[in-house]
Amino acid sequence: MRTFSQGGVAWGVECRRRPSRVAGVTMAGFRIAGLDALRMVPHPAVTLVLDFGAGSPVLDGGAGPRQRGSIVAGPGFGAGGTVWARGENVECLQVRLSPVIARSVLGVSPAELDGLVVTVEELWGRRETERVRERLAATTSWQARFALTDALLAGRREARAPVDPEVAWAWDRIVDGRGLVRVDGLAQELGWSRKRLWSRFRSQLGLRPKAAAKLVRFDHAAHRLVAGAGAAGVAADTGYADQSHLHRDVMEFTGLTPATVVAEPFLAVDHLAWPGTAPMRSTLSPGPPPRPEPQRAGHSLP
């Protein structure tokens, strides 16, 4: 376990050494003696936090009530910089899931979260949540905890259907393009109308395609800023019209300026917890767009 220190707080951080059995899943472990006012920064993934330490993290702010312990949050959760995590003696495993596989793994669509955070107990029940917590606490190795969690997620995924392959393909194109894609172009490649793509994408992933592209682009730009790149260069390299547009998006997602967001531990710790990872794809390798579904003459699909 490596140590990450910022703002006088020391974190123990462990990253997984092997890829997950489930494409679109990454995870990291954290041990923090005193978690004081950690600002949650939106990320283009569904976040699952499995708490098993002596103390429990508490989330304050956002559209919902205060939540404690193991939680699930949808992509973009924390927009505006109004959600904070606190706690003493926190020990937890954080999983990032591509929105494409979230429903099949968690049993809830990102669209149902709709900017909220829910407890794992609400999704899996108290008995199952406690069983997972006890097994993680009894496991002494972080790598063994990752393997245990991976087996749990793989088992849950096998029992549920994935999202439409066209939606998964569109998400992967947005991620691979770092948010610099034309939504109309994606619809054309699929042989779908723009309205149909927006409807399916929103109902299955919880975001409209343009909002997803905006979140992915912000995430890439924010990590470039944390790595030390200047705001003007980041704006140019990540497709913003100018530096003021980058400033606007950073403020919208975090409540901070590009100059101050670089000090946020939620972003800065990523180079240890998720080294070299990008926003979550749903598949291990890209492929051509699926063929559009046949349509009957005189009828159009929604």
pLDDT digits 0-9 by tens, 89-127: 999 999 999 999 998 888 888 888 877 889 999 999 999
Label the pairing between strands 71-73 and 58-60: unpaired
Residues 146-173 have pLDDT tens digits of 999 999 999 888 766 678 999 999 999 9
This prediction's pTM: 0.89
**Which parts of the chain have pLDDT scores under 50?**
284-288, 292-302
Judging by DSSP bridges, how do beta strands 58-60 and 84-97 pair with one another? antiparallel
Q: How many CB atoms lie within 10 A of CB 300?
A: 9
Identify the pLDDT of residue 56: 81
Closest CA to 103 of 56, 42, 171, 57: 171
Angle between helices 194-205 and 99-106 (to 10 degrees): 40
Domains and CATH numbers, the chain: 2-157 (2.60.120.10), 165-273 (1.10.10.60)
Q: What is the pLDDT of residue 220?
A: 95
Alpha helices in the chain (DSSP H): 99-106, 110-113, 120-124, 126-138, 142-157, 165-176, 183-190, 194-205, 209-226, 231-237, 243-254, 258-261, 265-268, 270-273
At residue 298, the pLDDT reads: 38
| Reduced 3-state DSSP string for 251-278 | HHHHCCCHHHHCCCHHHHCHHHHCCCCC
What's the confidence (pLDDT) of residue 221?
A: 96
